Amino acid sequence: MSQENAAPTTDILDDLISAVYKAALVKGAIELEVFSKVAAGQTTAEAMARTNGWDSRCTRLMLDGLCSLKLLAKTGGAYRLTPVSETFLVPGHLGYVGDYTLHDMAWEARGRYAQSVQTGIPAMGDMAAPNQSPLWEIFSQVGLNRDSLSRSVDSARELWETVGVNRRTVPGARVLDLACGKGIKTLTLAKLDPEATVTGIDWENVLRTTAQVAQILGVSDRVTLVPGDILTADFGQSEYDVVFLGNITHYFRPEQNVSLFSRVHAALRPGGRLVINAPMVDEERCTSEYLLYSAMFVVESPTGDIYTFSEYRRMLEASGFERIYRYEHPWGLLSARK
C-alpha cells in the first residue's frame, strides 16, 4: 500500500511533541549549565538544588529526564556525565556545542514563525548580514575536537575525490574559499597537496577559527585569510584554479548568486572550476528532506531558498559557466568550468 493510501495516524505529530519536550529539557539544562555542575561534583539532585538555590523536586525531574535522553547516567542516586554530554556539553571542552545548540534552537524567534510568514520579515534577522557574525563564530567553533575534525577531514577528502580535484589533476592548485567558515574543506586540499595555496574569505571573527584549524592541520604557511563580505568583494582576475562555495549559496537570491558567480568566473583562470557544496531540493520541491531547512528561511533570511539543480544550472549559465555537472553526494555537490 502506498503511503498516501495507508490509514492516517498521528505519528508525525506525536514525534513532534516528543521533540519539543526533549528540546525544552535540553535547552533548560544547557542554560543552567547542569553538565558542568555535574562535572564539578554536584552529583545528586539535593546537592545541585541546594548549591544553586533551585527547587529540589524540579531539579530531580530535570536530571532524571536527562538520564532518559542518555545525557546523564545514575548509580545509587549519583548522576554522572555520559560520553556524549562529557564531549559536547561541558563548556570549555573543544567539542562543546551548547552555545551553538541554544542559538540554533532560537526558540523564541522560531516561535514567531507565523508572524514571519505574514510579514516576510525573518524573526532571526538576516543570517548573511555582517551583524550575524558573532553567531557564525559560534557555529565555526563546532567540531574542533580531535574526532570530529578527523571525520571532517575524511569527508573533505572524499568531496575532492568525487569532483576530481587532487594533486595530479590540479597540481599546486590556487584555491579561493568563499564564506569559508572554519575552512576544513579547502584546508584539507592544502594538506593533501603541499604545493596548494588557499585564500579564505569570511567575517573577521570567524577567520580566527579558520586560522586555528589551519594551524592544527599544519598548513598555515600556505593560507591567506581575508575578512570581507562575499556579496560585494572583488575576487580579482584569472587568479584561481578552484573556487569553493560551501553551504552559502542558498542564503542568497538568484540575482545575488548570479552576481557572485560572475565575480567568481572572472577570478578563475581559463579552464578553472567552481565547486558548490550546498543542499539541493528535488525539481518539484516536494520530497527532499532539505525542504524542512528551506522552510526555516522564513525566520532566518529575507533572501534564502534551497535551489534545485536546474536553478543552479540557470544561474551558472547566466554567469558564463559551462560543463555544469552534479555529483552523487549526501549533501548537494556540483562543479562548473570557466
Instruction: State the residues that interact with ligand SAM by CB under 6 A.
Output: 128, 133, 136, 140, 179-181, 185, 202-203, 206, 229-231, 246-248, 277
The full DSSP string for 284-308 is TSSS-TTHHHHHHHHHH-SS--PPP
- Map grid coordinates 574526532 to a residue: 147
**Number of neighbouring beta carbons within 10 Å of residue 274:** 26
For the bound state, the minimum distance from the C-beta of residue 202 to ligand SAM, rounded and expressed in Å, comes to: 5
In the bound complex, what is the minimum distance in angstroms from residue 294's beta carbon to ligand SAM?
A: 14
Q: Which is nearer to ligand SAM, 85 or 303 (CB)?
A: 303
Least Å distance, CB 205 to ligand SAM, is 9
Smaller CB separation from ligand SAM, 124 or 206: 206
Give the residue at shortest CB distance from ligand SAM.
Answer: 246
Residue 322 · residue 316 · CB < 8 Å:
no
Report, in Å, the least distance between residue 47 CB and ligand SAM. Answer: 40
Among residues 44 and 148, whose Cβ is nearest to ligand SAM? Answer: 148
Find how far residue 38's CA is from the centre of its chain.
29
For residues 162 and 247, which CB has a smaller minimum distance to ligand SAM in the complex? 247
Closest approach, Cβ 68 to ligand SAM, in A, equals 32
List the grid coordinates of 159.
568531496
Residue type, 319: S
- In 3-state terms, the chain is what percent helix, strand and coil (to 5)? 50, 15, 35
Judged by CB, which is closer to ligand SAM: 203, or 290? 203
In whole angstroms, what is the distance from residue 224 CA to residue 216 CA? 15
User: What span, in angstroms and rounded, lies between the C-alpha atoms of 112 and 121?
Assistant: 10
Nearer CB in complex with ligand SAM: 33/104 = 104
Separation CA 288–CA 193 (nearest Å) = 35
Q: How far is the CB of 210 from ligand SAM (least distance, A)?
A: 9
